[in-house]
Homo-oligomer: A and B are copies of this chain.
């Protein structure tokens, strides 16, 4: 990694943390300059506009999400073990400081049309598709019943993970992980062949 690329990584990590904590609206070149101690003019040179910054923060977070949540789950055996790995990886992702950037983006940017919203929509669709695809391996491997609808199961699993996110992040509820796992087990029990 060149020095320029390394600096860029540091900036995008800091920007992602701002987006998760103070929100996308609060993440500006100004607040980013304060949190990275870089000059505003240097940051402008990197990102040109707030929109470019937001898009690159999302792209950077997506790459990290794939690396930390999706790819390790795909290394697990197809079917139930893979669904379980994806679920556990996402709970861990939710529990990072500031929570999940995509949950923050979905809620904050859902009424603001433009390229940033389009990107958030695409990322959310990709996530639900990945989840459904992994659930489908549970059907083809014979772990889940043949009449399991993978997209419906993905919807329900995502609901469990969203409620986990709210309870843990907002309510600081130590039982959130336990509740989410109980919900997960009964969902799977319902679909097991």
Contact = CB atoms under 8 A, between A and B. Distances in A.
B182 A186 contact: no
Contacts of A182: 152
Determine chain A's interface SS by DSSP, over half rule.
helix
A89 interface: no
A112 B169 CA distance: 11
A167 B155 contact: yes
29 contacts: A20-B111, A21-B111, A22-B25, A22-B111, A22-B112, A25-B26, A98-B111, A99-B111, A104-B108, A106-B107, A106-B170, A107-B107, A108-B108, A110-B169, A121-B170, A124-B166, A125-B171, A151-B179, A152-B179, A152-B183, A155-B163, A155-B180, A155-B183, A156-B163, A159-B160, A159-B161, A159-B162, A162-B163, A186-B190
Interface string A70-81: 000000000000
A156 B33 CA distance: 41
Interface residues of A, number: 44
A116 interface: no
Task: Give me the 10 closest cross-chain CB pairs, A-B, nearest first.
Answer: A159-B159, A159-B163, A107-B107, A25-B25, A21-B111, A162-B162, A110-B170, A110-B169, A155-B179, A159-B160
A175 B135 CA distance: 19
Contacts of A180: 155
A120 interface: yes
A158 interface: yes
A43 interface: no
Contacts of A23: 23-25, 108
A59 to B, nearest CB: 18
